[in-house]
Structure 1
Amino acid sequence: MAFIDENTRFDADTIDAHVVGIAAEVGQHDSGMHQHTKGQLLYAPQGCMRFAFDNSLCVLPPTKAVWIPPHTPHRATMTNVVAYRSLYFSCDDFEACPTEIVMVEVSDLLKALINTMALWPWDKPKEEMALTTALFWECFHGARREQFQLPLPRSSRFDVFCQLMMKEDFLPPLLSKLTDYVGASTKTITRQFKTETGMSYQDWRQQWRLLKAIELLSQQRPVCEVAHALDFSSDSAFIAFFKQHTGQTPRQFIHG
């Protein structure tokens, strides 16, 4: 049984197998920036994980899974107890491996396949994996894609801002206040933000609030507490915002 605890140091690249599966439960954790030669599929049925990539942030709530291609630098952080499943694929053996970061909705069938493969022995013969892995990739590529990533500004002008963003209580300021962090005019900030992220600062701030809302809701925080933490005028205003961006109420989203 491939089950590890939070104190186990694990490197899938040292294991010579076509598919390496693990099941783990961790509390507060920061993986540090790292990468794998294998592709990785992560699914957290309990809790929420945050990922930092070279130029973007991503949150992984329950009911979603994320694919991280080989040689993709990433950093995973968790602030509450998270139960997760991770599958590592030798992509030379699987043409179906995506070459970009992909997040998908996890159906009941895909969930069952992930749970099964996560507990495979690491010396399982390839021929015994074939039917299950073929069904897995069919389900994965047929799943609805999600987009819970946030591009980050890249220039050194925004370094302090991006460092503050990693703090738990961070809330992006209004554009008029962002000048205090960046040391530039609102006109310059607006132009650079659009150039470096492809989004206006206002749209970026709204996307950040959405991702933070998902993270807080995944920790079983009450809607009223999340609405207050993200500076919404009322619970109903927050629920309307959340439904506009996801098509679901906060409760529907978290519980699938």
Structure 2
Amino acid sequence: MKDYLISPDCISHPDSPVLSAVFQQSDRIRNTPDHQHEHGQIFGSTAGLLSVDAGHHRWVVPATHAVWIPPGMYHGLLSHGPYSGWSVWVSATACETLPTNAQVLSVSALLREAVLRATSWRDGSRSAAQNHLTEVILEEIRAARPVPLGLPMPQDPRLLKIARALSEHPNDCSPMGSWAKWAGVAPRTLSRRFVIETGFRFSEWRQRVRLLQALELLAAGQSVTNVALGSGYENVSAFITLFRQVFGMTPGRYAHSIALSSDKPAFSALGSLKS
């Protein structure tokens, strides 16, 4: 029996509303195989990282961002740790003015709050107030800024095994040789294939998955020191230097920018991940 977040009948019936939303918190890892449907979908986690497959894309996405999937595109996800997340389905007709390609999106505080409200709606017709909030959600999706924040995942099953393990435990400091032995691949092959399939050297990829976790922890209000040491960095200075190199600002400044304003996208000030 398939573990649907929402029954397909609830969104595929001719009289289904334009938008349906759901929130789920579980003590289990969620692994949704590739599938497609006629609706558009935007989803994200509230804690932890998600690995998302969408068309030819494969990303690691932090809880501070969401993924938009247009109608008809094959997609799937894997949570790294127990799943806690939300999802919104949008009718094909309403998707005509929404993005036509899969994207990692910056999520505004308004969108998060509107989705939270929508998850309490029951099936059936919508009130005038609910229809208005539906339009707010759709407009926020249109206005959301796509960001190249998702981290590419390798395709080779051996490398993918390593990448998923690192996504679950970014602070693991085992050397590359140990990971290669664990996955049954020669270290030289691992090094070469990681660059070919992700665009990053193994060490760079590991640093970036740590940074994705760091973004999430900083957004949750943890101190720079706790985030640095908890993410596997040997010292705080090394963490601050790398964070500034990749995002163009210090982690302290980033955390301060979040504290100053909750009505802007959480990462509106961040640049893209630099190679």
TM-score of the superposed pair, with normalisation by structure 1: 0.72
1:47 corresponds to which residue? Answer: 47
2:8 corresponds to which residue? Answer: 13
| In structure 1, C-alpha distance between the alignment counterparts of 2:99 and 2:138, rounded to whole Å | 10
Conserved in 1, the CA contact under 8 Å of 2:28 and 2:83? no
| In structure 2, C-alpha distance between the alignment counterparts of 1:200 and 1:210, rounded to whole Å | 15
In the alignment, structure 1 segments of 5+ residues that lack a partner are 1-7
Conserved in 2, the CA contact under 8 Å of 1:80 and 1:219? no
| In structure 2, C-alpha distance between the alignment counterparts of 1:207 and 1:117, rounded to whole Å | 33
Aligned-pair RMSD on alpha carbons? 3.8
Write out per-residue CA displacement over residues 141-195 of structure 1, whole angstroms, 9 at most, x where no aligned residue: 3233233322222224425424533543663655566543453253x43432222
TM-score of the superposed pair, with normalisation by structure 2: 0.68
1:228 corresponds to which residue? Answer: 229
1:241 corresponds to which residue? Answer: 242
| In structure 2, C-alpha distance between the alignment counterparts of 1:107 and 1:227, rounded to whole Å | 26
| In structure 2, C-alpha distance between the alignment counterparts of 1:163 and 1:171, rounded to whole Å | 12
How far 1:88 sits from its partner (Å)?
0.7
| In structure 1, C-alpha distance between the alignment counterparts of 2:216 and 2:59, rounded to whole Å | 12
The 1:167/1:173 distance shift into structure 2, 3 A limit, reads same
Conserved in 2, the CA contact under 8 Å of 1:104 and 1:145? yes
How far 1:101 sits from its partner (Å)?
2.8
| In structure 1, C-alpha distance between the alignment counterparts of 2:180 and 2:47, rounded to whole Å | 35
Which residue type is aligned with residue 56 of structure 1?
R
- The percent identity for this pair of structures is 22
How far 1:204 sits from its partner (Å)?
1.9
The 1:253/1:241 distance shift into structure 2, 3 A limit, reads farther
| In structure 2, C-alpha distance between the alignment counterparts of 1:167 and 1:108, rounded to whole Å | 26
| In structure 2, C-alpha distance between the alignment counterparts of 1:59 and 1:254, rounded to whole Å | 19
| In structure 1, C-alpha distance between the alignment counterparts of 2:98 and 2:156, rounded to whole Å | 32
Q: Residue 189 in 1 paired to residue 187 in 2?
A: no
Structure 1 segments, 4+ long, off by >6 Å, are 126-130
SS of residue matched to 1:67: strand
Which residue type is aligned with residue 234 of structure 1?
N
Which residue type is aligned with residue 73 of structure 1?
H
Q: Residue 102 in 1 paired to residue 97 in 2?
A: no
How far 1:57 sits from its partner (Å)?
3.7
Q: Equivalences for 1:87-166 in 2 at 5 Å?
A: 87-124=88-125, 132-158=133-159, 160-162=161-163, 164-165=165-166
| In structure 2, C-alpha distance between the alignment counterparts of 1:216 and 1:28, rounded to whole Å | 20
The 1:248/1:95 distance shift into structure 2, 3 A limit, reads farther
2:76 corresponds to which residue? Answer: 74
Conserved in 2, the CA contact under 8 Å of 1:12 and 1:20? no
In the alignment, structure 2 segments of 5+ residues that lack a partner are 260-265, 267-275
Conserved in 2, the CA contact under 8 Å of 1:28 and 1:77? no
Q: Residue 28 in 1 paired to residue 43 in 2?
A: no
| In structure 1, C-alpha distance between the alignment counterparts of 2:202 and 2:8, rounded to whole Å | 39
The 1:253/1:67 distance shift into structure 2, 3 A limit, reads farther
